[in-house]
Amino acid sequence: MRYPVDTIARTILLLCAVQVVIVILGVFLFLGLKAFNVFGQGATITGFLFDTHWDPMGLGSADGIPAFGAGGLILGSLVITLGSVLIATPLSIGLALFLTDVSSPVLQKIFRPILEVFTGVPSVVIGFYGLVVVVPLLQALVGNLTGNHVTAGYGWGAAIIVLVIMILPTITSISIDALRAVPGSVREASLALGATRWQMMMTTVVPAAAAGLATAVVLGMARAIGETLAVSLVLAGHRVPSWDQPLFNIFFQPNVNITQYIAIDFGESYGAGRDAYFTLAFVLLLTSFIFVVVSRRLSSKKAYL
């Protein structure tokens, strides 16, 4: 530090490191400033969260009065996120347990690369797969039961399947790390006391890794709620569906969520209507921030360090 080159290097590198902080503060500041504009133009917070009439540009009404009810979009995001996490969690943790405690090293050598490659598959490619495989399959299976065969197959059901495919590798690889962090001595102690392999996993390994496994699920949720293109392609809705039909129909007919609406309509919006999309983005931003805080909380509670 006594040498000028060292001081210069140190300063430049510090500036690089501070970039991260600047960017995240910028994201919260800029989106936050825009997000509240809409509440000065006729929207109320309860109306935004719970009403289901979304038309921020006022295109649907004769005198151009906008409607800011994002309830239907928020509900869509919640349903597909929770649905996909409920299905993906047992599969991912099962797969992670299989890889850490059951399979042979040879199988692990085959599986790990598949998992890594799959984490890198672009979301739009999964969306394409969903559109050409999952949607027609669902249409063939449940099309006649939903009343409208032509549009059947799109919607929450297809979105949940696509999201399961996308978050499975994420949850699995974080779960594997959590299970690996449980010391071998814990496993040995359990086996030495006469537990079978399955009892060892269920009564010792999984409880010991619980915090890490929960972190994996929360991070999977964070990925699911922000996922855009794949979900947008298979939701394919243009308005919130009417609620006076069986729940089954709602699941397998075109529907909407937050990201899908932003992806499709943000480009053509302007002025006050555009601000409403920034409000939606801010809702996503806050939700994923909450997920981060929760996952940090969880990962600080480790049973074995």
Partner 1 sequence: MNTIRTHARHRGHLSNALGIGLLWTIASIVALLFLGIIAYIMWEGVQYLFDPVFYGTREYGIGRELFNTLYLLILSQVLLLPIALGAAIYLTEYARTRALVDAIHFAAETLASVPSLVLGLFGVLIFVSYFGLGTSRIAGALALVCLNLPFALRLFENAITAVPHELREGAYALGATTWHTIWTIVLPSALPDIVTTTILTSNRVIGESAVLLFTMGLFSPANSLTLDWSLPGATLTTHLYNVTGPGAGTTGLSMHQEMIVTAGSAALLITVILLFNIFARVIGHAVSKSLAAE
Residues 196-215 that bind partner 1 (CB under 8 A): 196-199, 201-202
Q: Which is nearer to partner 1, 52 or 295 (CB)?
A: 295
x/- string (CB under 8 A) for partner 1, residues 8-37?
-xx-xxxxxxxxxx-xxxxx--xx--x---
Instruction: Give me the least distance between CB of 257 and partner 1, in Å please.
Output: 11
The verdict on 133 binding partner 1 (CB under 8 A) reads: yes
DSSP 60: S
Instruction: Give me the least distance between CB of 226 and partner 1, in Å please.
Output: 2
The verdict on 229 binding partner 1 (CB under 8 A) reads: yes
Q: Which is nearer to partner 1, 189 or 202 (CB)?
A: 202
x/- string (CB under 8 A) for partner 1, residues 71-110?
-------------------xx--xx-xxx--xx-------
x/- string (CB under 8 A) for partner 1, residues 147-186?
------------------x--x------------------
